[in-house]
Structure 1
Amino acid sequence: MKYNIENRLLLDQIADKWSILILSQICQGPLRFNTLKRSLPGISQKSLTQALRKLERNGILAREVQPTSPITVEYRVTALGLTLKEPFESLFNWARKYAHEVEKAQKEYDENYGNE
């Protein structure tokens, strides 16, 4: 498989930790910012804002301002973003299936190499 800089940059933008987790939530249905933030323990407001902007810029998410008082913003996955649902689900399933084996490998590595 041949990779170029554009492919790597795109993967950096859509496959980072927060983007994958954000998409896993929004693929279930549109969400408002605070609802999304509550569903992702450990994410800061700044990190969530940056990730949402990046995903919106790449055409993966759409941002819709609701004319309510106060104004609310809802995020939904685009048709392009939906094409990532299956590969990301496969990745989550792999992580669930092999988490124990990865933990075992990490423990063995740490025992053998410690704090080198």
Structure 2
Amino acid sequence: MKEPSLFGRCPYVTAQKVLAGKWSLYLMHLLADGPVRFNELQRRMPEEMTHTTLSRQLKALEASGLIVRTEYRQIPPRVEYRLSEVGEQFRSVLSALEDWGNDYIAYLNRDSKE
């Protein structure tokens, strides 16, 4: 018998599924300061990030309701991404992750010196 999905019932499984993309957290961090254009996001991503991968990741975050894509009909075309209302609620999580990440980096540096 197949076990029922915990998505939408368990907060940990739900968060993990929504943020499953390799670059989800970093993109949420980049968008936390306000709207960012696609090309600017691409410039701020690591070198190995392709246009296709970035586009796919942004579409997944948009489909999850965490970000909003705004297309401006002008020449040349302009597209901006920003956190949605529910994405804005993620700021405190980003802050906590930053604190923990910095503590862990300090731990790694301390551990490598011993």
- TM-score if structure 2 supplies the norm length? 0.78
In the TM superposition, residue 102 of structure 1 has moved relative to its aligned partner by 3.6
- Residues 1:23 and 2:25 aligned together: no
Using the aligned pairs only, state the percent identity. Answer: 27
Correspondence for 1:113: none
In the TM superposition, residue 8 of structure 1 has moved relative to its aligned partner by 2.4
CA offsets per residue over residues 39-93 of structure 1, 9 Å max, x none? Answer: 1223221221111000100111111111110211111111100111111221111
Correspondence for 1:99: 105
Q: How many residues align?
A: 106
- Residues 1:65 and 2:67 aligned together: no
Letter in 2 for 1:73: V
Q: Which has the higher helix share?
A: 1
Letter in 2 for 1:4: L
Please list every run of 5 or more consecutive structure 2 residues that lacks an aligned counterpart in the other structure.
Answer: none
> Moved runs in structure 1, 4+ residues, more than 6 A?
none
Please list every run of 5 or more consecutive structure 1 residues that lacks an aligned counterpart in the other structure.
Answer: 109-116
- TM-score if structure 1 supplies the norm length? 0.77
Structure 2 CA distance, aligned partners of 1:16 and 1:95? 18
- Residues 1:87 and 2:93 aligned together: yes
Structure 2 CA distance, aligned partners of 1:5 and 1:60? 16
RMSD between aligned residues: 2.5
